[in-house]
Copies of this chain bind each other. A is one copy, B any other.
Amino acid sequence: MNSSEKKRIAVIGAGNVAWHLAPALAAAGHTVTAIYSRSPASREALARLLPAAQPIYSLDLLEMAVEVVLIAVPDAALAGVAAALKVAPGTVVAHTSGSQPLALLQPIQGAHIGVLYPLQTFSKSKPVDFAGVPLLVEAQDAETLRQLEMLAQSISSKAYRVPSEARRQLHLAAVFACNFTNHLLGISEQLLQEANLPKELLQPLIAETIEKASRQDPFSVQTGPAVRGDDNVLQAHLQMLQPYPRYQAIYRQLSQSIQAQASGEANQFNLKDGSPV
């Protein structure tokens, strides 16, 4: 990237996404000039990680001499920021949300609006190698799209152009694959703890499950008592879950869905686990 592609950038938000995105941009040679957050501790802590950034306590004080403003705030706060934000005409303004449409930024007068969505789960306590994080870009016009794509490519090898509708669907898919999976792993860990079994016991099986699902259609490699139609085991498990009505309901729902999936696709259905003796 030549120096004309190095941007002056303001970041709105100092949460988990901003915490990783702003330093990655600075490390790639861009200048992050300002961090805006209502939380003094958050904006000051993040600004300290950036050589050229000022912590800003009011959107009105945001420095105008930036080419890009990135809005990395919770979804629910996005409309409020869009209503309050004033920028110089021609400034690229992008939000970083997976679930919110590009159009949410239309109230910002004179802005060239877009989206730069890093598809990863971030915690402040855990470093992330941005180079491997998929970045999804979208914009209202071709030139803004090009600018955001270059910005994305300066910090990651995986930039994709994805419009709002598909990004919304992707976000939904991520809720199933990640948020819900994490909850299941939590239930599993609790069950292990109650039997005084070490968490490590299940790790190889979990790793293999994920690996296998990444190479093949997960529906076609489904294993376990539900897809086998092993009613004895299903009943025994539901019995064991009686102290946990919530987990019991999840068990029933997912087992039914596994069975419906398998029987609805009769031509793909195969008894995967155990051949006949």
On A, residues with C-beta under 8 Å from B are 12-17, 36-39, 42, 73-77, 81, 99, 119-121, 123, 126, 128, 132-134, 158, 160, 162, 165-166, 168-170, 172-192, 194-197, 199, 201-210, 212-214, 217-219, 221-228, 230, 232-233, 236-237, 240-241, 246-247, 249-251, 253-254, 256-258, 260-261, 272-277
Knowing A121-B208, A202-B177, A253-B253 touch, does A197 contact B77 (C-beta < 8 A)?
no
A162 to B192, CA, bound (A): 12
A275 to B177, CA, bound (A): 23
A254 to B177, CA, bound (A): 12
CB-CB under 8 A from A254, the residues of chain B are 180, 183, 250
- Taking a contact as CB atoms under 8 Å apart, the answer to whether A214 and B203 are in contact is yes
- Taking a contact as CB atoms under 8 Å apart, the answer to whether B185 and A218 are in contact is yes
Knowing A202-B119, A246-B260 touch, does A178 contact B224 (C-beta < 8 A)?
yes
- Taking a contact as CB atoms under 8 Å apart, the answer to whether A224 and B175 are in contact is yes
Number of this chain's copies in the assembly equals: 2
Please give the distance in Å from A35's CB to the nearest CB on chain B.
11
Please give the distance in Å from A3's CB to the nearest CB on chain B.
30
- Taking a contact as CB atoms under 8 Å apart, the answer to whether A253 and B251 are in contact is no
